Amino acid sequence: MRGWASTNSLERIGYVLLVGALPAAAFYISMVFDPRWVAVVVAAALAYGFMSPIVAARRLYFLAGASAHSALLAAVVAIPLAAWASPITEPAWATVIGLALMYVVGYMVHRGVDPDTATAVFVAATASASVIAIYYVLTRFPMRAELWAIIVGDPLLASWSDAWYALLVALTASLGVLLTYREQIYAGLDREFVALSGARLWLYDWLTFTFLGLTTVALIRVVGFVLEHVLLLLPAAIATRLARSSRGVLITSISISTAAALLGLYLAILLDQSPAGLIGAVLLVAYLLALSIRRS
């Protein structure tokens, strides 16, 4: 019991240090470099840091990886649609298309299709459609640089409107997760019990698909198609090896994701490398360290 209390005390101290240190680090980096860069990477870190435990609790790893494919397709298709219907912006088109694609998967699962089977069909369809859409855009529109940013991601190209948009998405996803986190954990642990208890399970499923689609589509230009897989999966994988409660997993996931984003951005600017790539590398190193710490 004494060892358990000591461990809990160390966790609390660690959380206090992280909560105090991360805003200070963000403020320092924003003073040294462009605040827009800090805003977009912190927004992405918060959005994925909140969503990652939900993905882990609901066992939606395969779907989380597939959501990046729908985000890529939505972002590419939004380019010609915005050109043809100029009053509607590309982010708006991409959000609508991305959410519609995620709802298709959700409807298939709701109708009784195995989630892995539904996701596999979804990945095959969106991957094929993405190749066709990319080829069409490259041959009809002079948008090669923008497509590169969508696939690889570059927060250093973000404007202030992009930064405020990313922060709004992060705030929406964070509030949604905080208000339904306990129910989402219960649904992941025992879905049948939650359904029998009279809870509106369909609502929590809909919220999961909505926030998963929103965070991947809205932030794909910041982190890129490749890195979205890492940011959705690794924070919770690290947190579940370090924390001892569901609340601890959420706090640790947010902290690890934000710390990796700030450190990756700082190293990228110093080394003249891709911020998205170095953020992913920092998360990978953190996961390897979590493995060794857990063993010891």
pLDDT in tens, 113-145: 887 788 888 888 888 898 898 888 888 876 655
Return the percentage of the chain with pLDDT > 70, whole number. Answer: 86
- Torsion over CA: 115, 228, 70, 91 (sign): positive
Residue 44 · residue 218 · CB < 8 Å: no
CB contact burial 123-160 (16+ within 10 A = b; e otherwise): beebeebbeebbeebeeeeebeebbebbbebbbbebee
Please compute the mean of the pLDDT values over residues 282-292 and round it to a whole number.
Answer: 85
Please compute the mean of the pLDDT values over residues 182-194 and round it to a whole number.
Answer: 78
Q: Hey, how many other C-beta atoms are within 10 angstroms of the C-beta on 192?
A: 9
Q: Is the pLDDT of residue 4 over 50?
A: no
Q: Cα-Cα-Cα-Cα dihedral of 160, 135, 48, 187, to 10°?
A: 140
Phi, psi of 33 (to 5 degrees): -115, -170
Q: pTM for the whole thing? A: 0.82
- Torsion over CA: 264, 46, 16, 243 (sign): negative
Chain centroid to Cα 156, Å, comes to: 18
285 φ/ψ sector (left φ>0, alpha ψ -120 to 50, else beta): alpha
pLDDT attached to residue 171: 92
pLDDT attached to residue 18: 57
85 burial type by CB count under 10 A (0-12 exposed, 13-18 middle, 19+ buried): exposed
pLDDT attached to residue 265: 87
Say how far apart CA 127 and CA 123 lie, in whole Å: 6
- Of the candidates 47, 262, 258, 261, the one whose C-alpha atom is nearest the C-alpha of residue 170 is 47
Residue type (1 letter), 218: A
Token representation of residue 197: 């208890």
- The CATH number given to 21-295 is 1.10.3470.10
Q: What average pLDDT does the chain have?
A: 80
pLDDT attached to residue 114: 80
Residue 6: pLDDT band (50, 70, 90) is: very low
Say how far apart CA 93 and CA 103 lie, in whole Å: 15
Residue 221 · residue 204 · CB < 8 Å: no
Say how far apart CA 182 and CA 192 lie, in whole Å: 16
